[in-house]
Chain A
């Protein structure tokens, strides 16, 4: 059973470009979460999605950031017009449906974004 998959693992962008990060949850998981880890810091929640729905986006910056989890295909975290402060590791996690708030989140290996 493959784990959570993220690609690319490393992404380099110049200021003003777009970054598109992909996450495929574990098989059977329908809940996806995105977290950001700034250098030498803990992870900060960004957004929680279920298929075709954004459930909680309280951690998402108001501008330039968006996320989706379509009916088919991976979840996408999109960052428009990147700035140097967006340089971070972005982690995706997934969990199975319907088990309440106690279910475990399983993390992917992350995408390390570097903005030049």
Chain B
């Protein structure tokens, strides 16, 4: 079945450091790919998405490019802030299905 694999956390960075959170997927067909962010005690918020190969999703300084050849959708940010501390989830939704398939999440901790 479809699955998403994320790098284990926590990822600990200093403010203004460069961020990469790796995400790879396994799916038949042509899924859409998503990054969601979860702040402590809250629900998930959509961060960005890409619906086809080579699309780049971006929002709030975060970017991710849909790479079909490597089945990846890595999340990047050039300069993180303390307020970016949260859990980040990579997810896919495959053609013909409505359910999201999530990775296990990566916790990001940014210190001043």
- Whether the Cβ atoms of A101 and B43 lie closer than 8 Å is no
Cβ–Cβ < 8 Å partners of A48 in chain B: 98-99
Contact of B102 among A42, A104, A106, A110 (CB under 8 A): A42
Say whether chain A's binding surface is mostly helix, strand, loop, or mixed: strand
Interface string of A35-67 (1 = CB under 8 A from B): 100000111110010000001101100000000
Q: Which residue of B lies closest to A95 (CB)?
A: B98
- Whether the Cβ atoms of A91 and B43 lie closer than 8 Å is yes
Chain B proximity of A31: nearest CB distance (Å) = 7
**Cα of A105 to Cα of B32 in the assembled complex, Å:** 12
- Whether the Cβ atoms of B32 and A102 lie closer than 8 Å is yes
- Whether the Cβ atoms of B102 and A101 lie closer than 8 Å is no
A contacts with B, residue count (CB < 8 A): 27
Contact of A101 among B36, B42, B49, B96 (CB under 8 A): B96
Q: Is B12 an interface residue (CB 8 A)?
A: no
Q: Which residue of B lies closest to A100 (CB)?
A: B95
Chain B proximity of A101: nearest CB distance (Å) = 6
Q: Is A25 an interface residue (CB 8 A)?
A: no
Cβ–Cβ < 8 Å partners of A59 in chain B: 99
Chain A proximity of B92: nearest CB distance (Å) = 11
Chain B proximity of A10: nearest CB distance (Å) = 10
Binding site for A on B (CB under 8 A): 32, 34, 36, 42-46, 49, 51, 89, 93-105
